[in-house]
Amino acid sequence: MDPVVRGSVAYLPTYEAMQDFTAARTAATPDELWLCEHPPVFTQGLAGRAEHLLNAGDIPVVATNRGGQVTYHGPGQVVAYPLLDLKRAGYFIKEYVYRIEEAVVRTLAHFGVTGHRVAGAPGIYVRLDDPFAHGLLKNRSVTSDPIGDARSANQAGREAFTGLGKIAALGLKVSRNCTYHGVALNVAMDLEPFERINPCGYAGLKTVDLSTIGVSATWNEAAQVLGQKLNLLLSHQENP
């Protein structure tokens, strides 16, 4: 599953191409991994709530069939789309998510950054006060779903995300045991559009990129590392 660098491509045609690829797959279709960068766009998940999109302004909004709430894609962000046959790979969805997150954690480690998980909130986070610290987070979990009661979700978010910034977002779709959509890693972006939404449904959740935490890396450098890590972890070449 060698990564295919598609570079800067519009979001909607890419989304449609993923759907078409998945619909046409057979048991013999090789898996693919697309690495992309999109012009500014907000995307809503299937259960996305309108109130989490605060002010789209001149940025288009695309409704999708992935899981999760609203997120933003834009220049300076590596978006990786693994098109994987889960049945053939032998993964249940929980392990698949873990392997994608682990690829991001290892990508961050390549640049000296420590990535963290928050139980119940897919994606990868970093410590705002010291992104390079190696200590483990303790007792971080989100027990309220952001598609449920907004006040409960916001309270859960404040408690779970205190001192953290989100650096990678995850949103997936599985159709006939085959995956599309994927993970977005923030490298060197204009982060202002994230202030127009409640990222992933959590009000006040801070979003960061490698640049703002002091790491100088180009899009190509980050894409190469993330593509390599995803390829190794999703094709059984390495264990998480």
Q: Write b or e for each residue in 39-57: b if 16 or more Cβ atoms lie within 10 A of its Cβ, otherwise e.
A: ebbbbbbeebbeebbeeee
CA distances from 101 to 22, 54, 77, 80, 189 (A): 22, 28, 16, 12, 20
* Residue-wise pLDDT tens digits, 24-73: 999 999 999 999 999 999 999 998 889 999 999 999 999 999 998 999 99
Strand pairing of 206-207 and 61-63? unpaired
* Residue-wise pLDDT tens digits, 173-184: 999 999 999 999
Q: What is the pTM of this model?
A: 0.91
Q: Quote the distance between the C-alpha of residue 49 and its chain's center.
A: 18
Strand pairing of 164-175 and 121-127? antiparallel
Q: Which residues are catalytic?
A: 200
The architecture of the domain spanning 3-234 is: 2-Layer Sandwich (3.30)
Place of tokens 């290892």: 106
* Residue-wise pLDDT tens digits, 191-223: 999 999 998 888 888 999 999 999 999 999 999
Domain boundaries, the chain: 3-234
